[in-house]
Amino acid sequence: MVVILFCLFLLGCKMTDPGKEVIVYTSVDQHYAEPVFKIFEEKTGIHVRASYDIEASKTTGLVNRLIAEKKNPKADIFWNGEPIQTMRLVSQGILCRYLPRKIPVSDWSDPEHYWHAFGGRIRVLLVNNSIKGRYPIPENLTELVKSEIPAKKIAVALPFFGTTATHAAMIWMHSGDKKSSELFNTLKEHGVLFLNGNSLVRDKVVSGDAWLGLTDSDDACAAISRGAPVSIYVLNQAPGDIGALVIPNTVALISGSPNPENGQKLIDFLLSRQSREYLAKEGWLQIIDHHVYHKGTTCPLPTDIHIQNIRLAHIMKAFEISQHALRELFFQ
């Protein structure tokens, strides 16, 4: 009985004053998000309780939790590393409109103010330095398919979750169903390595098991900062090409949340220059205000990157079509 009471005490002893807290569900990696929350806590005195997702589900777990909690929400805000799952929440009626008064919002944000985009990561090619000079580096995915680099030395994350799914949806939006399906079918038939996440792609390229990998700029920059023998190449930079794909972070207020005012304060903080610059210096974001952010970072991205004009409003439909096609293609 004493042991049980002690356990209950240990579990209950962390309770804080409900009026002085904000609950956030986030797909952002814990070691990036936690310090930002700590800064917010020091600044405002509001305690942040965060729930993080599992890497494999790439946000889907927390999104499903938000949907299940719809009638009695527990979270105040949702901070996502990509926009698609956030858009899904709009259609489910989970989010509510919020327009920050003192913070300018990005033109990538939802025009109806259900969610706001800030900062971003770029889809890049990470190349092992051992192949420099031996093979031409592809400038876009079409060239990747025709590349002389052996297919088994090319690594890509599975296009079902996260930023790779967003990237696939963008491809479907630009190229249509037939061409996009052919592209992925060719990649698969050639034997390109499809892995369970961008971080695994990075690790394969760093170790030399793969020579080239499609991943996010935060993973690529992290590898370079650790001294790995790799280089970053930004896709679609040739004259007339569509430009680099930027995957913005999104943040939204949950409808009917227990602490909406604290949630608004946290959203304002995340959208602020201070927070974005902090995340950029830590390596989570590489793009701020449509430009590559270099101050205080060591990531060797070119300064003058041509960025794609994102039409996020149309991406949901393309996402559904692409996911259906890719599931049929990939699973045995």
> What binding mask, one character per residue, do residues 78-107 give for other proteins by CB under 8 A, x or -?
----------x---x---------------
> What binding mask, one character per residue, do residues 263-302 give for other proteins by CB under 8 A, x or -?
----------------------------------------
Q: How far is the CB of 7 from other proteins (least distance, A)?
A: 5
Task: Note whether 109 binds other proteins by CB under 8 A.
Answer: no
Q: Which one, 64 or 274, has the nearer CB to other proteins?
A: 64
Q: Which of 32, 41, 55, 255 binds other proteins (CB under 8 A)?
A: 55
Q: How far is the CB of 327 from other proteins (least distance, A)?
A: 8
Burial 187-215 (b: 16+ CB within 10 A, else e): beeeebbbbebbbbbbbbbbeeebbbbbb
Q: Count the residues of the shown chain that bind other proteins, applying the rule CB under 8 A.
A: 47
Residue 222's closest CA among 240, 201, 237? Answer: 201
Task: Note whether 24 binds other proteins by CB under 8 A.
Answer: yes
Would you state the structure tokens that stand for residue 257, as one six-digit string?
């949340």
Q: How far is the CB of 143 from other proteins (least distance, A)?
A: 26
Q: Which one, 12 or 227, has the nearer CB to other proteins?
A: 12
Stretch that binds other proteins, among 170-178, 189-197, 221-229, 295-303 (CB under 8 A): 189-197
What length is written for the chain? 332
Cβ pair 25, 66 in contact under 8 A: yes
Tell me the β-bridge partners of 157.
195
Q: Which of 13, 45, 71, 111 binds other proteins (CB under 8 A)?
A: 71
- 119: DSSP letter: E
Cβ pair 264, 98 in contact under 8 A: yes
Q: Where are the alpha helices (DSSP H) in 137-259?
A: 141-145, 162-190, 198-207, 217-225
Residue 41 dihedral angles phi and psi, to the nearest 5°:
-60, -40
Compute how many other C-beta atoms are within 10 angstroms of the C-beta atom of residue 232.
Answer: 20
Residue 126's closest CA among 3, 63, 209? Answer: 209
Tell me the β-bridge partners of 52.
26
Q: Which of 77, 149, 165, 200 binds other proteins (CB under 8 A)?
A: 200
- 153: DSSP letter: G
> CA–CA separation, 163 vs 161, rounded Å?
7
Task: Note whether 175 binds other proteins by CB under 8 A.
Answer: no
Task: Note whether 30 binds other proteins by CB under 8 A.
Answer: yes
Q: Where are the alpha helices (DSSP H) in the chain?
A: 2-12, 30-44, 60-68, 84-91, 141-145, 162-190, 198-207, 217-225, 260-271, 273-282, 315-330
Task: Note whether 49 binds other proteins by CB under 8 A.
Answer: yes
Hey, which residues between 209 and 268 contact other proteins (CB under 8 A)? none
Q: Which one, 241 or 261, has the nearer CB to other proteins?
A: 261
Stretch that binds other proteins, among 18-26, 100-108, 184-192, 228-236 (CB under 8 A): 18-26
- Point out which residues bind other proteins (CB under 8 A): 4, 7-8, 10-12, 14, 23-25, 30, 49-57, 60-65, 67-69, 71-72, 74-75, 88, 92, 160, 194, 196-197, 199-200, 203, 323, 327, 330-332
